[in-house]
Amino acid sequence: MDQANRLINSLQDNKERWIQNANDFKNFKLRLVGDVAKACAFVSYCGPFNSEFRTKLLDEYFHEDLLKRNIPTSNDLELTKFLVDDATVGEWNL
């Protein structure tokens, strides 16, 4: 009975974390369409430009266009983390 009570109490402690993770995932899903649209626009149109102009296009033009169209998107989208996982970037660095 003591072990069962300890298990229940330990699961109860994680309840807040699980609720927060569920809310974070829900918000991520809401912003996913806008984030994918922003990433697609970046990959499609920004290749030939320098870093400064790419950032300007991404942060000003693409982001503002999504907001005008009421498409939820992340304000602080990091394209490298969105498009590529850390393991792949590590392989590139090797």
Report d(CA 37, CA 39) in Å as an integer: 5
Task: Give the pLDDT mean for 19-35.
Answer: 92
How many domains in the chain? 1
pTM given for the model: 0.72
**Domain holding 74: CATH number?**
1.20.920.20
Domain that holds residue 73: 2-93
Q: Is the pLDDT of residue 64 over 80?
A: yes
Q: What is the CA radius of gyration of the chain?
A: 20
At 51, the amino acid letter reads S
Confidence of residue 34 (pLDDT cuts 50, 70, 90): very high
Q: Is the pLDDT of residue 9 over 80?
A: no
Q: What pLDDT does 29 receive?
A: 94
Quote the tokens at residue 46. 């920004």
Confidence of residue 17 (pLDDT cuts 50, 70, 90): confident
At 47, the amino acid letter reads G
